[in-house]
Amino acid sequence: MRIPLLMSSLILSSGLLLQGGDHDCPAYPASMWSFNAENLEYQARSMGLMMVKLAASVPDKGFTAALSRQNFVDEFIFNRLDAEGVQPAGLASDEEFMRRITIDLTGRPPDVDQLISFLADQSSNKRERLIDSLLNSDAFVDRWAFWLGELVRNTTASGNVSLPGRNALHKYFRDAMQNDVPFSTIASDLIRASGDSRSNGPVNFVVRSYSQGDPVQDSWDDFTANISNAFLGVPSLCVSCHDGARHLEPVNTYLSHRKRRDFWAQSAFVAPVIFNRIQIDVVGNTTIEVSDRPAGAYTVNTRGAVGQRPLRSGGPYTPVYMWTGERPASTNYRAELARIMTSDLQFGRAIANRVWAHLMGVGIVDPVDGFDLERYDTQASHPELLNALASDFMQNGSNLRHLIRTIATSTAYQLSVHYPGTWKESYRRLFARKLVRPLEAEEIHDSVLQATGIQNLYFVDGIDQPLSWAMQLPDTNEPRRSNDALSFMTVFGRGNRFDALRTSDSSVLGTLSLMNSAFVTNKIANQGSSWVARLLQMQISDDELLDRLFLQTLSRKPTAGERQAATARRGKSRTEWAEDLQWALLNKLDFLFNY
């Protein structure tokens, strides 16, 4: 790193003196120092320099000395914290850790018996063993099959994907997660898929982009944009309509230098694709078949309908991988695209960044589909770390479990949410503490079920077995047959994976729903197999009952203040007290967050 030398010239040229940087120097008040530090950081960043150390002479306070470094993730995160003189939080407690990792990996909090035995376990490597057991669980397969469905937006809402097709793609993802299929293989299967969309799962990723009635080039372009968005994290859709220049300068420097012709050359990789909609029965149901022409460059022949984009020109375009300039080695273009892309470091960066964002609260590059390849070093909060994660991932068979494990076993992932000191917004991108993440609609649904012990059974068309958890559902328009559950999740911003985007923002309607909807209140009563009912039948004290309710719902015991507050409200009826407590815990502020 040639930084320190350039740094000093920067300091001098900008008139800021950071002599000694000594906090105790009376001639240099602390407030000035922190102002200069932030100002300096901003200036250096905007000049495209990566800050490893603020200045050669800033004393290394060694704030992270107390934390053990498990792997390279910790090296990067903690070295940076030391360099910037930022104190990290301490470690999360066992309760916090188990709740956090279980929600992140399975979409719901831990089963209370497993939680209790984890807390009682005295072995030193129990956190690592917990991570491994979660990675090998059925719930993990469910949740990450769902995650893949989100990534490619598998849904019947677009009209192109049929119900059987959606289910087939969902099954493909479940099988892939069950069998630990490399993510590069998954990406490749999706890009290269051919066949009947009703029966061939991956074909539905291709068919998603089909734009009936428009020139086929629009479908190719949408397909290309979907691929680059999902697997490279680059929002290339813009340059499918216009050159980047004079449009994208404030948004994405790399794309502002790209032209439509670059995009067309990229789209040429999928130009052999033919979409064929055929009727399959007398009622009028159709399916779409995808196949490749034996040879075909990207022609701009758009006779007939004008389509969704301005008229194209030039061509025919032969494929050029626009991110590196590589050309295909054969005319099997889609296969070549898959090969080139899954060998591209950006492929590793994109998925590593998405998984990082899921586990750590915000991506190293944010938003996760907004990579600016020309400004990577300043856009990414930890560019070298992301490169390392990407390489490590790709060298280890592009294995999702390996990637998740690498991040989850780091100490950086296990920091507490409580920060000892004054928190500043700038610490957020340094990951100085655990960042809070609002739960998604399906996680809220599953958490309510886990907390109350009531299992619903949802019957989804085309899937033989009834499903219990929202994370098992094939898309976000299910369970269609259970209106209570469906409207409960819709209110929490599920989106439809098509034109209604997912949001985790809380809302007044969501709050009202959690307080008053039958979906929730039916589960807290002393009846049936609810946890409240079961606990009330046990011979346990009030304190134990209270503890159990807290452990089931919030994965921890009550604080002294909470215990006092709850006990003070213990009226004459134990039943009513238990029911009220269960309700209150589901509506408690920390229930809806992963921390």
Minimum distance between the CB of residue 360 and other proteins, rounded to whole angstroms? 14
Interface with other proteins, residue 159, by CB under 8 A: no
**Sequence-ordered alpha helix ranges (H) in 305-412:** 333-343, 345-360, 376-379, 383-395, 400-408
Q: Is 294 in the site for other proteins (CB under 8 A)?
A: no
Per-residue three-class SS string for 64-88: HHHCCCCCHHHHHHHHHHHHHCCCC
Helix H or strand E encompassing 140? helix 138-152
Q: Tell me the backbone φ, ψ of residue 274, rounded to 5 degrees.
A: -115, 135
Q: Are 446 and 470 in contact (CB under 8 A)?
A: yes
Q: How far is the CB of 149 from other proteins (least distance, A)?
A: 19
H-assigned helices in 85-125: 94-106, 112-120
Q: Is 559 in the site for other proteins (CB under 8 A)?
A: yes
Considering the rule CB under 8 A, would residue 305 count as an interface residue with other proteins?
no
Position 429 contacts other proteins (CB under 8 A)? yes
Q: Min. distance of Cβ 590 from other proteins in angstroms?
A: 6
CB of 561 to other proteins, least distance (A): 6
Does 238 interact with other proteins (rule: CB under 8 A)? yes
179 near other proteins, rule: CB under 8 A: no
| Orientation angle between helical segments 333-343 and 345-360, nearest 10 degrees | 60
CA 551 from chain center: how many Å? 27
Instruction: Tell me the window of 77-85, 259-267, 272-280, 418-426 that interacts with other proteins (CB under 8 A).
Output: 418-426
Q: Is 63 in the site for other proteins (CB under 8 A)?
A: no
Cβ proximity to other proteins: between 252 and 287 the closer is 252
Q: Pairing mode, if any, of strands 273-279 and 195-196?
A: unpaired
Phi, psi of 16 (to 5 degrees): -100, 130
Distance between CA atoms of residues 126 and 110, nearest Å: 15
Which amino acid type is present at position 378? T
Q: Is 508 in the site for other proteins (CB under 8 A)?
A: yes
CA torsion through residues 217, 223, 228, 229, sign: positive
Looking at 55-63, 259-267, 277-285, 583-591, which segment touches other proteins (CB under 8 A)? Answer: 583-591
For other proteins, the closer of residues 250 and 325 by Cβ is 250
Structural contact between residues 431 and 360, judged by C-beta atoms closer than 8 angstroms? yes
Q: Under the criterion CB under 8 A, does residue 562 sit at the interface with other proteins? A: yes
Q: By C-alpha distance, which of 455, 454, 477, 458 is closest to 466?
A: 458
Give the CA distances from residue 126 to residues 119, 181, 224, 372, in Å, rounded to whole numbers and listed in that order.
9, 27, 44, 40
By the rule CB under 8 A, 507 interacts with other proteins: yes
61 binds other proteins (CB under 8 A): no
Q: How many residues bind other proteins (CB under 8 A)?
A: 61
Min CB(594)–other proteins separation in Å:
10
Name residues contacting other proteins, limited to 511-550 (CB under 8 A). Answer: 511-513, 515-518, 521
Span interacting with other proteins, options 143-151, 235-243, 382-390, 398-406, rule CB under 8 A? 235-243
Q: Please state, in angstroms and rounded to a whole number, the distance separating the CA atoms of residues 580 and 515.
A: 11
Strand order in the sheet with 273-279: 195-196, 286-292, 273-279
Sole residue written with tokens 């300039």:
325
Q: 551 with 110: CB under 8 angstroms?
A: no
Task: Give the nearest distance from C-beta 370 to other proteins in angstroms.
Answer: 6
Cβ 521 to other proteins, closest distance in Å? 5
Taking CA atoms, 47 is separated from 375, 379, 385, in Å, by 10, 12, 20
Number of residues that this document lists for the chain: 595
Q: Is 482 in the site for other proteins (CB under 8 A)?
A: no
Tell me the CA distances in angstroms from 545 to 343, 563, 581, one per residue in order.
55, 11, 10
Q: Verify binding: residue 496, other proteins, rule CB under 8 A.
A: no
Quick check: 228 binds other proteins (CB under 8 A)? Answer: no
* Residue number, 91 or 463, with CB nearest to other proteins: 91
509, 528, 542, 544: which one binds other proteins (CB under 8 A): 509
Site for other proteins in 326-355 (CB under 8 A): none
Give CB contacts under 8 A, 24+ apart, made by 308-311: 308/211, 308/214, 308/218, 309/217, 309/218, 309/221, 309/240, 309/241, 310/241, 310/242
How buried is residue 247: exposed, middle or buried, by Cβ count under 10 Å (0-12/13-18/19+)? middle
Stretch that binds other proteins, among 286-294, 329-337, 413-421, 451-459 (CB under 8 A): 413-421
Under a CB-based contact definition with an 8 Å cutoff, are residues 337 and 231 in contact? Answer: no
Report residue 391 CA to chain centroid gap: 19
- Considering only 510, 531, 545, 556, the residue that binds other proteins (CB under 8 A) is 510
CB of 580 to other proteins, least distance (A): 5
Q: Does residue 503 touch other proteins according to CB under 8 A?
A: yes
Among 33, 72, 147, 419, binds other proteins (CB under 8 A): 419
Q: How far is the CB of 199 from other proteins (least distance, A)?
A: 29
Beta carbon nearer to other proteins, 301 or 507: 507
**Cβ–Cβ under 8 Å, residues 342 and 324:** no
Min separation Cβ 438 and other proteins, Å: 5
Distance CA 151, CA 173 (A): 11
Contacts of other proteins in 94-133 (CB under 8 A):
none
Contact pattern from residue 358 through residue 387 relative to other proteins, giving x for each residue in contact according to CB under 8 A and a dash for the rest: --------xx--x-x--x--xx--------
Tokens of 386: 């992301």
Which one of residues 17, 47, 251, 306 is an interface residue with other proteins (CB under 8 A)?
Answer: 251
Between 126 and 557, name the residue whose CB sits nearer to other proteins: 557
561 binds other proteins (CB under 8 A): yes
Residue 213 binds to other proteins (criterion: CB under 8 A): no
Q: Which residues of this chain interact with other proteins, rule CB under 8 A? A: 45, 235, 237-238, 250-251, 366-367, 370, 372, 375, 378-379, 417-419, 421-423, 425, 429, 433, 435-436, 438, 499, 501, 503, 505-513, 515-518, 521, 559, 561-562, 565-566, 568-569, 580-581, 583-585, 587-590, 592-593, 595
